[in-house]
Structure 1
């Protein structure tokens, strides 16, 4: 199939098996408004109060909290600052309540702990709104609400019960939209109704990340790119962090690497499995069509086990569509994103002739118990990670909390503090099992249609 960059339609991508790499831009759409700075990087100082490994939302949020408390901070990044998932996600912001149905969470943790976790989830969403507002970060934050489409009639009934439980246990507002009324929420017949969480939000992750970088640097923080960390060694005064740009002495260290967590701290590596997430962006769509497809301009998802998520791009007439990474394909080829185009056209067949301009992927950090964790290792290294695909608000909030904990501030306490952080049994096998599990889930999803 011969396809030029200026004519890669969604239908071409959905059908294509050997598309040339030039057919679309293989990097995040968000980088158009917030390009990664490949040249400028702060010099590595000899010492600092706190070294933070990872320049995503967690690391920058922690850095900002520490700098405001008078600590010196160096943020270390293996690649260009912001290269990882913080600038590669879909920009959807929830409270983190979507991983378990309330009834299941109560079965796992007990009612009291479930209520604590769910209510803290709503505080995460409030915190990121407060931070963006107080720091005047221009990133198109808005409380747009979330519509989640039911893929089967039984899913609708299950969601309705879960929304009732969520209101009863955590006070979270929601409402159900039956199939007969779903065109008020979405211009598609692909679902059997759905639920709406009106307080969920969205932002431009590239601009949000750049705003955090600017705030950290203006507060005196140092951000060093291309400074891969090779080891963290204890010293009488704290730690020596050995990096690709030299050694850094510090009193305290925070690991904030989530899905990009490597072997520098084996205790953490065993507890995180990276899972790939991929996204595409369309070219601009006529306003009349976009208003028909997404009339409320919410963020969107579905009830599949291997789900997809989508939204309108802020300030432009594009759709951002995400899901799991393609399997058994060249990840550096547009063909790796054809399953996303197929899902998009299943929901919105009207987009068949719309061009697809960008495709990219990133790594989500998954934990064995599917909840995030923060704490301190046996070596005394602080950490916050494991957001399981809901990291925009969780990472920002956990970054603030782990910084407060490092400072000994009682406000650093969370409902997650007393949760055991389990390792993955047979961790190397668990990493390779992800494609098998995903395939099985896709089969089960297909059987329910």
Structure 2
């Protein structure tokens, strides 16, 4: 394993080199605000921006440094699709509602692109397109049907390539074909977070980092927020903690499943290497159950790799680096001798129905469950929730993500005991599917 690690290896996100989390001490707490937002990630900050601009006094509370959580730890891929397909959504929502939700997700992506451009957030956003490699021939056939559905029914540009046409996209023989989403893109997630943080402050929101919330209770028609640094009275509270939802919010914790997600960065590669490996400049995913993500760093010097690095939860940085190095050299054998300079992990929030959700229980509102699409959806739904609380959404079409309650599961009580065995099982299924594909 030591040969995989660069001498300057760092157990922290590569993104933090350009936009590290803030380390200053928390400011004095206000005694009262109109809205207290718990969580200073994309969702919480987007909510705060809308509310503060609407004239509400807002305090954003976070247990750690602002920007220390999942929002600055992702691989930074963006697009307009949900993880679930139409058939899965239709089974629970009905065909028409499922299609409407998919179309809203595509519209949310367009909103996000306009928001970043309109606010002047410099986060290296580029619509370079995404390539989703087919792990098996069966996956390739499914991609053809999906691409046609996305293009004809949802309004998302998509087309498929056979294995003989991948040379201009990616230098690997691993995939049996691929679907191309030319309007998808990538960005620097830490710089996006820094931009949202600046917007919130400019609008008048008070950012109270390193201020853990110990409890929330409704008293005499108002909310009392107890923190490690004292109480705050608030008219409303927004919970935007996603996978970092703690014991003070037990009802929500039983409905949000934290899943470990891991990333690593290679050392700078020789000039021309990435142009040869990814000649179209696409971001890359694939159809494995344990899916991986590959992309060039915004400056074009490194390969960034994301995925499940280990069947164990809370894997150490060296284990993460080794696992994702293995994934990189499986896709690109020429990278066998390349070393990793950074490896890190974060927690992604999944809901039981695998859909993001905004809603309220009394004066406690929530935006939870990014389900792997948090860069776009958390920003969009945070803004939608802010407009809802401020009463600015009367003339807007309702969002399909505002549904009553959050579903739960009788076997889940807030500790994801099943994730390690499930990951191991998915890995076995991927290997079996590939073997069966070779034998057919």
Bin of the TM-score, shorter chain as denominator length: over 0.9
Map 1:192-341 to 2 at 5 A: 192-328=176-312, 331-341=315-325
**Does 1:398 pair with 2:381?**
yes
Tell me whether 420-429 or 155-164 shows the greater mean CA deviation: 420-429
**Does 1:62 pair with 2:47?**
yes
2:437 corresponding residue in structure 1: none
Alpha-carbon separation, structure 1, partners of 2:269 and 2:404 = 46
Q: Deviations over 1:343-373 (max 9, x none)?
A: 1110011111222100000000011111111
Alpha-carbon separation, structure 2, partners of 1:412 and 1:385 = 21
**Does 1:434 pair with 2:419?**
yes
**Does 1:36 pair with 2:2?**
no
Alpha-carbon separation, structure 1, partners of 2:348 and 2:303 = 21
SS class of match (2:416): helix
Contact 1:254/1:382 (CA < 8 Å) preserved in 2?
yes
**Does 1:407 pair with 2:390?**
yes
Alpha-carbon separation, structure 2, partners of 1:416 and 1:81 = 26
**Does 1:389 pair with 2:363?**
no
Tell me whether 328-337 or 173-182 shows the greater mean CA deviation: 328-337
Alpha-carbon separation, structure 1, partners of 2:376 and 2:27 = 27
Contact 1:66/1:403 (CA < 8 Å) preserved in 2?
yes
Contact 2:356/2:371 (CA < 8 Å) preserved in 1?
yes
CA gap 1:305/1:430 in 2 versus in 1, 3 angstroms: farther
Alpha-carbon separation, structure 2, partners of 1:45 and 1:390 = 33
Contact 1:326/1:337 (CA < 8 Å) preserved in 2?
no
Q: Deviations over 1:196-225 (max 9, x none)?
A: 111112110011101111111111111011
SS class of match (2:417): helix
Contact 2:48/2:200 (CA < 8 Å) preserved in 1?
yes
Q: Structure 2: which 5+ residue stretches go unaligned? A: 435-440
Contact 2:253/2:414 (CA < 8 Å) preserved in 1?
no
Alignment partner for residue 112 of structure 1, among 96, 99, 113?
A: 96
**1:328 shift after superposition:** 4.2
For normalisation by structure 2, the TM-score amounts to 0.94
Contact 1:57/1:396 (CA < 8 Å) preserved in 2?
yes
Tell me whether 77-86 or 232-241 shows the greater mean CA deviation: 232-241
Alpha-carbon separation, structure 1, partners of 2:377 and 2:235 = 26
2:31 corresponding residue in structure 1: 46
2:72 corresponding residue in structure 1: 87
**1:430 shift after superposition:** 6.3
**1:88 shift after superposition:** 0.3
Q: Structure 1: which 5+ residue stretches go unaligned? A: 14-18
Aligned residues: 432
Q: Deviations over 1:16-40 (max 9, x none)?
A: xxx9xx7620000000000111124
CA gap 1:414/1:236 in 2 versus in 1, 3 angstroms: same
Map 1:100-179 to 2 at 5 A: 100-179=84-163
Alpha-carbon separation, structure 2, partners of 1:162 and 1:328 = 32
1:367 corresponding residue in structure 2: 351
RMSD: 1.8
**1:42 shift after superposition:** 3.0
CA gap 1:309/1:158 in 2 versus in 1, 3 angstroms: same
Q: Deviations over 1:66-88 (max 9, x none)?
A: 11111111000101111100000
Contact 1:330/1:336 (CA < 8 Å) preserved in 2?
no
Q: Deviations over 1:396-423 (max 9, x none)?
A: 0010011111123323830122365211
1:16 corresponding residue in structure 2: none
Q: Deviations over 1:378-409 (max 9, x none)?
A: x4300001011111000000100111111233
**1:188 shift after superposition:** 0.9
Alpha-carbon separation, structure 1, partners of 2:42 and 2:254 = 22
Contact 1:405/1:412 (CA < 8 Å) preserved in 2?
no
For normalisation by structure 1, the TM-score amounts to 0.92
Contact 1:52/1:74 (CA < 8 Å) preserved in 2?
yes
Contact 2:59/2:208 (CA < 8 Å) preserved in 1?
yes
